[in-house]
Each structure stands twice: as structure tokens, then as C-alpha cells.
């Protein structure tokens, strides 16, 4: 919700790119994209994610299909040491609640006192979701960043559609870049083995208090670091995002017009949805990118008390969310809602871009999507006449009570370093420390908005506004190489931060963690996507009325026999080994 460029932020592009909420939220249901053919035999096997997946929005949900870290004992994580930066207008009121800023800090501070580079070239590999940036020779921001780094940054930027394929090729070769992104939504097999062989274990440099040598990296909270652990080593620096995975967003204008209020239970909620629906006028209560069971199950499953991906019993036994009676009840409830006609009938043809546009355009009153899309919708709503207000629906239980909110790993990928002598590793960590400069710092302002007077100017409130040149210069994906913890800020005005933080304060205290975050299953890497897709396709048929609800157990049984039970066994062993 920072690092913006106008019209959309780079982070917003990450949420919107490819128009992909359908597949994005399949990840939320434990059904990642269907697998493609494996890579060449000379490379570790991989499957490519579809072009339509967007990384940051996908990251809001991607902890659901897989846990992507250790299969060994625990590593010594960095000691969390917050940087003392500009005081937030809306300080965090609790763990995982992001601070809010009503305007850009007036006096950005310097967080990196000395250039970290030694004057040479540094190669990096990451993804590119926007259009390509202005080349370095024509890019004032890139040139200034190189100068302040005292390094020449040579960045290979790969479109998300090709990311897994390119990453597999990278793994198979013998010429790794100095710095490379390990994407969260990868389906690369034998990833821990590759990292242990080719990437530097950063535990000696960042474990415990050692991280204080790199203050901006120590400023990253503990939660996302857990997902950088493989085989007991710390094999990367996480790119942090909010702990909130997803939310069911409300078009407040439609709610106010219908006199709707916060639901208190599933019966109340169905009545609200029916009241919001006027099919003859083309207005519906809920829209989704894809079939209901494949896009918004997380909200409904949480409402009925299902676990967040898996539940872990005291004896170490894991139970998949779909295996619970709560999940089955949520499926039946969704089936009932679809039969009641409250669901936007063209949801199956929607993607993140056109679906979100229809939501802001008031074709339906509720829209389930990743948390990073909040600021996008906020800004889209500002452009409507009258302005469309949005906010996240607060959780409630199906039978009453507070309900639950699924939380994620708070990261969407890690940045790994190629094995190198200690001096070179320290230089690379210094580069990452610069790129993770906190919001309100001089370095963050440069990375996000470029050079003052060339790439941006300040408005009357002191908020940076990009120039036409700046909109091209700042598209270099620096925050896909390093990023600071999320903050709530929008240069369009103060109300976004106020609204988003109020919603976080309602959602996060009800948060439920996924107990498999930080643990690795090779079967899940190899087969989780394809068997998950088959599972949610079956559930989509049930919700749509094409199959009876009595087929539910059969669908789950097929998932278990085709690899689900093996995934469970591998995760249980990994968790037991870590203890």
C-alpha cells in the first residue's frame, strides 16, 4: 500500500497484473493452478504458474496450498529490532496491525549511512509485472540508486507468466545471479536441495543479534522470516506483506442504500444477501472471480469454523480443512446461496480486473479478494460519481459469535544469494538492507518515487506525485528484490489509512494461523497444484448444483488417495523433526 506510482501503484499492479483473481484465490482454497509439463530432465522438475496469477495478490492467499520452508530443524531467526523512523499518525495497536500515515513524513531520514557496494556490478533476477521501466541510461531514478549503492545493478526482469520456467532454467544452469527471487507460488521440486547446494545459508550473518548489522533487515518482523528456512538454514530474506490473507469487501454505497448492517450469523447473512439482490435490475449481492467454491471458500470456511488450511492436534496429527464437517457445512451453505440467486451469474467469466471494476461499478455488493487490492479499490472508488466507499466485512460465526480470520505467512517470496566468499555476501546483504529501507526514509522515497523535481513533485500536503517521466522510471522492480514491512498510506488522502487500519483491528485479533507455514512437502510441490485443482473443481460442481452434496466425501477421498495423505505424512514428519 506504499511504493506507488500513478495511475496504479507497482504493488497494485502486482495485485492486478494478468487479471487473475480466479487462480489467485484457487490458491486460497488449497487448489493452486493446474500443473503443466515438467521441465527438461536436466533441471529440477517444475510446473509453470498460469499467466493470470498475480504475485502480491496471490501471495495474500498462497500459503493455503503449500507450506514452503523447512524439512529439518529450526534455524536461528533474526532478532526483530524495529527501526526508529517517523512516528506514524496511526501507530500499530497490536501485533500484525500495520501503522498508518495520513501524509508522507515531512523530513525523510537517512537509514543507510554509507554506500554498501564496492563499485562493481551486481546481477539480480526477479519478476516484472508492470510494463518495462525506462532503461538505466534514460532513468534518473535508477542512476541515482546505483550511485547511492555504489554498484551497477544489472537486473533480469521476467514476466510472471514465464517466472517458474525461467527459474527452473536458472536452477539448472551453473551461472546463478548474485541475488535471485524464489517466488512463493513456485512449484519447483527439490527446492531445499537446490538452495542448500547453490544458495548461501545466511544464518551466520542474520541469525539472532547478527541481523543488527543490517538494521533494515532486522526491521522485518519474525513472521515472514519463518518461510525463509529450509533444512534448518536461513536461505533468504523475505519480502514482507500484511498478515491478512484475504477479505470479503463491501460496496458500502449498495449496503447503505439497502439498509444492510453487519451480519451476526449465517441466517442473518443470507437474508442480507437476498435483500441486496435485485436480479431484474442486474444487481447481485456477491461476485467472484470464478465459481464460488473455487474463489471465496476461505471466508465461508472461516465463518463455519474450519481450520486455516490444516489443523494440528496435540499428538501431531494434521487434518486438512476440506476433511472437516465445518468445510462440508460451508460448501452446503454456498450451494444454498447460489440456488437462492444471490451470486452474480457471470462470476465464472470474471477475473481480478473486470470483476473488481464491476464491484466498484455496483453490479454486485460484495467481492472476495486479496488484502493488497484494498488500496486499488479505494482509489477506483474515489473516481466514481458519487464516490464508492469500500471496506472489509468483519468476521462472524455461522451460529453467532465473533468468527475467525485466516492469517498468512506475511510474505510473498524470498530473496536468496548465490554462494560466495563472506565479503561478497556481506556486500549483497548491504544491498538488500538498502532496498528494505523503511517507509519515511530517504532511501525508500528514492526507491518508490525517484528523484525529486525529475520523477516527482510534492503536492500541497507534502505527498509525492509522480511526473510522466517518474511513472516510467519507478517501474524498476526494486521491491521485488527488497522491501520494508507494510504500512497503510495512500497519497490520495488520509482516509484510506484510517479505514484499512480499522478493518485490520477488527480482523487480526480474530486471526487463525496455518500450522504448516514454515514446513515443506515434496509431494505438495510436485502434485499439490494438480490434485488441488481437481478437488476444487469437484466442489465447484457441488456448489453449482451439477453434483449432489452427498458427493462431497467422494471428492475429498479422491484428493487423499491421489496425494493428499502423502502430503499430510510429509508435513507431519517435518513438524515433528522441527520439535
| Per-residue model confidence as pLDDT tens digits over 2-52 | 443 333 444 444 344 333 322 222 233 333 222 222 222 233 333 333 333
Retrieve residue 220's grid coordinates. 522485518
Determine the pLDDT at residue 290. 84
Q: Which domains does the chain have, with CATH numbers?
A: 10-79+119-243+410-494 (3.40.190.10)
Q: Is 510 helix (H, G, I), strand (E, B) or coil?
A: helix
For the chain, residues with pLDDT lower than 70 are 1-74, 184-188, 294-296
Nearest-angstrom CA–CA distance, 161 and 250: 31
87: which residues sit within 8 A by CB, 6+ positions away? none
Q: What is the pLDDT of residue 113?
A: 96
Give Cα separations from 33 to 20, 52, 308, 444, 526 (angstroms): 11, 10, 19, 34, 12
pLDDT value for 74: 60
The per-residue DSSP string of 214-277 comes to SHHHHTS-HHHHGGGEETTEE--EEEE--SB-EEEEEEHHHHHHHT-----SHHHHHHHHHHH-
Return the exposure string of 30-51: e unless at least 16 CB atoms fall within 10 Å of the residue's CB, then b. Answer: bbbbbbbebbeeebbbbbbbbb
Q: What is the pLDDT of residue 39?
A: 29
How far is 31 from 33, CA to CA, in rounded Å? 7
Taking each continuous run of H as one helix and of E as one strand, the counts in the chain are: 24, 17
CA 39 to each of CA 48, 149, 182, 527, 528: distance values in angstroms, whole numbers, following the listed order:
9, 36, 17, 14, 17
How many Cβ atoms sit within 10 Å of the Cβ of residue 454? 14
Which residue has 466514481 as its cell numbers? Answer: 384
pLDDT in the model for residue 10: 43
Beta carbons of 418 and 236 less than 8 angstroms apart: no
pTM: 0.86
Helix (H, G, I), strand (E, B) or coil at 550: helix
> What local confidence, expressed as pLDDT, does residue 294 receive?
65
Q: Residues 418, 197: contact at Cβ < 8 Å?
A: no
β pairing state of 233-234 and 229-230: antiparallel
The reported pLDDT for the residue numbered 187 is: 61
pLDDT in tens, 169-179: 888 888 899 99
Give the per-residue pLDDT at 491: 86
* Cα–Cα distance measured from residue 391 to residue 108, given in angstroms and rounded to the nearest whole number: 30
Predicted pLDDT of residue 162: 86
Amino acid at each position: 500500500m506504499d511504493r506507488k506510482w500513478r495511475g496504479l501503484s507497482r504493488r497494485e499492479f502486482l495485485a492486478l497484473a494478468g487479471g487473475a483473481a480466479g487462480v489467485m484465490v484457487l490458491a486460497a482454497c488449497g487448489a493452486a493452478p493446474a500443473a503443466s509439463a515438467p521441465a527438461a530432465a536436466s533441471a529440477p522438475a517444475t510446473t509453470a504458474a498460469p499467466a493470470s496469477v498475480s504475485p502480491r495478490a496471490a501471495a495474500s492467499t498462497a500459503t493455503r496450498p503449500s507450506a514452503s520452508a523447512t524439512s529439518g530443524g529450526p534455524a536461528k531467526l533474526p532478532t526483530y529490532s524495529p527501526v526508529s523512523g517517523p512516528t506514524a499518525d496511526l501507530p500499530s495497536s497490536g501485533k500484525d496491525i500495520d501503522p498508518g500515515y495520513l501524509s508522507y513524513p515531512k523530513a525523510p531520514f537517512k537509514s543507510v549511512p554509507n554506500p554498501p557496494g564496492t563499485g562493481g556490478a551486481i546481477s539480480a533476477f526477479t519478476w516484472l509485472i508492470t510494463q518495462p521501466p525506462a532503461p538505466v541510461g534514460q532513468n534518473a531514478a535508477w542512476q541515482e540508486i546505483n550511485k547511492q549503492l555504489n554498484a551497477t545493478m544489472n537486473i533480469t526482469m521476467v514476466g510472471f507468466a514465464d517466472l517458474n520456467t525461467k527459474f527452473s532454467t536458472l536452477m539448472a544452469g551453473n551461472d546463478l545471479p548474485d541475488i535471485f527471487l524464489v517466488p512463493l507460488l513456485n512449484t519447483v521440486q527439490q527446492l531445499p536441495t537446490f538452495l542448500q547446494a547453490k544458495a548461501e545459508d545466511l544464518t551466520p550473518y542474520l541469525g539472532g543479534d547478527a541481523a543488527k548489522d543490517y538494521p533494515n533487515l532486522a526491521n522485518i518482523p519474525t513472521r515472514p522470516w519463518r518461510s525463509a528456512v529450509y533444512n534448518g538454514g536461513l536461505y533468504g530474506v523475505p519480502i514482507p506483506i500484511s498478515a491478512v490473507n484475504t477479505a470479503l469487501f463491501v460496496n458500502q454505497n449498495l449496503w447503505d442504500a439497502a439498509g444492510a448492517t453487519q451480519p451476526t450469523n449465517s441466517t442473518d447473512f443470507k437474508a442480507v444477501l437476498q435483500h441486496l439482490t435485485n436480479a431484474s435490475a442486474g444487481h447481485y449481492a456477491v461476485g467472484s472471480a470464478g465459481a464460488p467454491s473455487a474463489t471465496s471458500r476461505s471466508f465461508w470456511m472461516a465463518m463455519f469454523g474450519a481450520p486455516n488450511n490444516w489443523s494440528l492436534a496435540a499428538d501431531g496429527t494434521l487434518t486438512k480443512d476440506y476433511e472437516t464437517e465445518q468445510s462440508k457445512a460451508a460448501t452446503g451453505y454456498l450451494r444454498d446461496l447460489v440456488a437462492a440467486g444471490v451470486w452474480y451469474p457471470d462470476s465464472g467469466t470474471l477475473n481480478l480486473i473486470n470483476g473488481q471494476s464491476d464491484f466498484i461499478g455496483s453490479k454486485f455488493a460484495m467481492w472476495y479478494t486479496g488484502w493488497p487490492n484494498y488500496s486499488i479499490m479505494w482509489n477506483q472508488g474515489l473516481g466514481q460519481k458519487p464516490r464508492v466507499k469500500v471496506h472489509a466485512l468483519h468476521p462472524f460465526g455461522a451460529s453467532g459469535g465473533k468468527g475467525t480470520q485466516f492469517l498468512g505467512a506475511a510474505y510473498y517470496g524470498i530473496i536468496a544469494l548465490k554462494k560466495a566468499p563472506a565479503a561478497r555476501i556481506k556486500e549483497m546483504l548491504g544491498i538488500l538492507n538498502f532496498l528494505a529501507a523503511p517507509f519515511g526514509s530517504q532511501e525508500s522515497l528514492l526507491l518508490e518515487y525517484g528523484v525529486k523535481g525529475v520523477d516527482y513533485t510534492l503536492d500541497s500536503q507534502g505527498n509525492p506525485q509522480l511526473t510522466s517521466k517518474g511513472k516510467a522510471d519507478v517501474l524498476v522492480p526494486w521491491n521485488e528484490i527488497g522491501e520494508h514491512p507494510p504500512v497503510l498510506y495512500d497519497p490520495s488522502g488520509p482516509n484510506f489509512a484510517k479505514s484499512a487500519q480499522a478493518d485490520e483491528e477488527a480482523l487480526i485479533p480474530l486471526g487463525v494461523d496455518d500450522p504448516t507455514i514454515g514446513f515443506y512437502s515434496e509431494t505438495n510441490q510436485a502434485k499439490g497444484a494438480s490434485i488441488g485443482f481437481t478437488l476444487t473443481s469437484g466442489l465447484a460442481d457441488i456448489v453449482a448444483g451439477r453434483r449432489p452434496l452427498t458427493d462431497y466425501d467422494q471428492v475429498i477421498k479422491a484428493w487423499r488417495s491421489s496425494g493428499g495423505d502423502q502430503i499430510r505424512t510429509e508435513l507431519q514428519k517435518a513438524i515433528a523433526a522441527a520439535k
